[in-house]
Structure 1
Amino acid sequence: MKRVTSLLILVTMYFSIACQPTLEETNSQLREEVIAVHDEVMPMMGKLKSFEKQAQEKIAKLEQEENVDEARVEELKALAFDLNKAYDGMFVWMRQYEVEDGDKSPEEVESYLKEQLVLVSKVNEDITAALEKAERVIGA
């Protein structure tokens, strides 16, 4: 009876360990999450530049008026800055992102991918926030 119980415990432990995803599978999933965040915001890049151009045009038009609305000009300049910063942030992230694992151990790859997920999520937040601000300030 004791042998059967021990055998059942061992079999249960084996299956519970065997069902755990490997570190390579976890890393593959993390890489997919990083790329998914990138793919979500990449199509917004053109919209960032379009809004930035609109802001610059509005600034130029306002500055030509006799009674310049300085507060509006400053608001549009701040918006153009935020849009450009969000745009540049994506390309800064893309330039530093390493597609290949190189000689990294699976643990190092996992740590790197977790860090990249945080960084690309920040890029996503910055782009989304800049676009929301542009829609408020300039309109759709």
Structure 2
Amino acid sequence: MKSLIYTFILSASLILASCGPNLSKQNKELRDQVIAVHDEVMPKMGQLKALEKEAQQKAEELLLQDSTQTEQVQALQGLAVELDQAYEGMFVWMRQYETEDGERTPEEVKVYLEDQMVKVTQVNEQIKGALSKADSLLKNQ
């Protein structure tokens, strides 16, 4: 009976040990993917702020020129808010993102990184969407 227990413990240990390095490699790749999604839009942060200011200025100019253009003014003001939210969204994500695994098990790290991939992808899409909207709205002004 004791040998059966020892065999079971040894087998379980070997299985876990064989999964460990592979899971660590997967976690490194997943972390690299998370950072790649971040790095794709991070250089556009200055552009977000510049477009936000441009949208605000155009809204103010339009109000001064023609106060009946409230729909266009509201669209520009809404765009400025959307650009600011996309900008802030990146920094909110960056502040909460943890680069160190700490005391987490490889399985916990994997779950954490998968969650971060969802969050950073949402930030990425929000930034791209705001930039696209700015491109079409500001070109028509």
Q: TM-score, normalised by structure 1?
A: 0.83
Query: Residue by residue, what CA displacement relative to the aligned partner does 1:113-137 show, whole Å, maximum 9, x if unpaired?
Result: 0000010000000000000000000
Report the Cα distance in structure 2 between the residues aligned to 1:120 and 1:85, rounded to whole angstroms. Answer: 14
Residue 102 of structure 1 corresponds to which residue in structure 2?
102
Within-5 A mapping of 1:1-140: 22-139=22-139
Equivalent pairs, count: 122
What is the CA distance between 1:72 and its match in structure 2? 0.4
Q: Aligned Cα RMSD in Å?
A: 1.7
What is the CA distance between 1:33 and its match in structure 2? 0.2
What amino acid is aligned across from residue 93 of structure 1 in structure 2? W
Query: Residue by residue, what CA displacement relative to the aligned partner does 1:27-52 show, whole Å, maximum 9, x if unpaired?
Result: 00000000001110100111111110
Q: Is the 8 A contact 1:62 1:68 kept in 2?
A: no
Query: Residue by residue, what CA displacement relative to the aligned partner does 1:10-34 show, whole Å, maximum 9, x if unpaired?
Result: xxxxxxxx7xx70000000000000
Decide which structure has greater helix share. 2
Q: Which runs of 5+ in 1 are unaligned?
A: 1-17
Report the Cα distance in structure 2 between the residues aligned to 1:71 and 1:82, rounded to whole angstroms. Answer: 16
Against the structure 1 CA distance between its residues 119 and 66, is the aligned structure 2 distance closer, same or farther, given a 3 Å change threshold? closer
Query: Residue by residue, what CA displacement relative to the aligned partner does 1:55-105 show, whole Å, maximum 9, x if unpaired?
Result: 010011112124430000000011011100000000000000000000000
Report the Cα distance in structure 2 between the residues aligned to 1:63 and 1:105, rounded to whole angstroms. Answer: 57
